[in-house]
Homo-oligomer: A and B are copies of this chain.
């Protein structure tokens, strides 16, 4: 098994899974008052679903066809959340409703949604100002989600990790000798010490706020996309995910300045309790394990010749080891 972490970081794989014919598209678009179709091109956004940049006589939109990894029953939560957040002023794509009032319909046998086009580009090189803007946007999103009525459990939180581990453990040594044993020890620790329900504030989290899901225009954050892992979970876990996704340098070093800026700008919008802060190192370990396990699973179950190149799970092994050694919040740039 070979991995090319260096090359993977400067390349993007993408796949459009469903071909949409012009006939089908014209029938679909007739259900909206958007004028005729000028162009429709598959784009490199999201790896789970098929996304198209659709230009009509009234402007650009994003058309998403949901492929099999997104559960149809979850779609009302995701779409309702985007509408709720947008109404509260959070920059994000907004589902459009057709002439019949429905946002969710069918195209090429798949659930399909048309959403507004969000200007901006995701940052390829993370600067400290990106992290500051991200912290503020996440705090705003968490507050805006507080009165969102729907719930969705996080099936990739602590209870979901052991089944993933069991599915990979027999072959984990192919990726790194001793990996299965180390992961099992970590899993035991996290299961024993994970915050009990009711001990930390819960709400809507994005749960996948990686750089490619955060758009900027110049130095200004223009919005968040890809809410298809969003769920109801401990709020500060979203920050723990972003400590991993935004604050490590390409060489593996943790950048405490970025972490400090992210956390402090979040706290200006939504203060963090002592309990939330104290839980951060453990939640960051959990987040590292979660992405390590899903990447490991994808790598070991990667069909040869598949379109999407698997990401390197060992990147998260290094992140996990960093958080295991953290003794206090100073490591994250806090006093």
Tell me whether B53 and A22 are in contact (CB under 8 A). Answer: no
**Which residues on the B side are within 8 Å of A11 (C-beta)?**
15-19
A22: nearest chain-B partner, CB-CB: B121
- Counting CB contacts under 8 A, is A134 at the interface? no
Cα–Cα distance between A20 and B304 once the two chains are bound (Å): 28
- Counting CB contacts under 8 A, is A38 at the interface? yes
**Which residues on the B side are within 8 Å of A45 (C-beta)?**
41
- Counting CB contacts under 8 A, is A10 at the interface? yes
- Counting CB contacts under 8 A, is A147 at the interface? no
Given contacts A55-B60, A120-B39, A121-B40, whether A19 and B14 have CB atoms under 8 Å apart is: no
A window 282-312: CB within 8 A of B = 302, 304-307, 309
Query: Per-position contact with B for A20-64: 1 when CB-CB < 8 Å, else 0?
Result: 111101000000000011111111110000000101000010000
The contact of A39 among B15, B37, B117, B123, by CB within 8 Å, is B117
Cα–Cα distance between A149 and B335 once the two chains are bound (Å): 71
Tell me whether B124 and A19 are in contact (CB under 8 A). Answer: yes
Cα–Cα distance between A23 and B13 once the two chains are bound (Å): 21
**Which residues on the B side are within 8 Å of A55 (C-beta)?**
60, 119
A217: nearest chain-B partner, CB-CB: B38
The contact of A21 among B13, B20, B125, by CB within 8 Å, is B125
Per CB-CB distance, the 6 closest pairs between chain A and chain B, nearest first, are A42-B44, A21-B124, A38-B119, A41-B43, A12-B16, A22-B121
**Besides A11-B17, A11-B18, A304-B305, 6 other CB < 8 A contacts?**
A12-B16, A12-B19, A19-B124, A20-B124, A21-B124, A22-B216
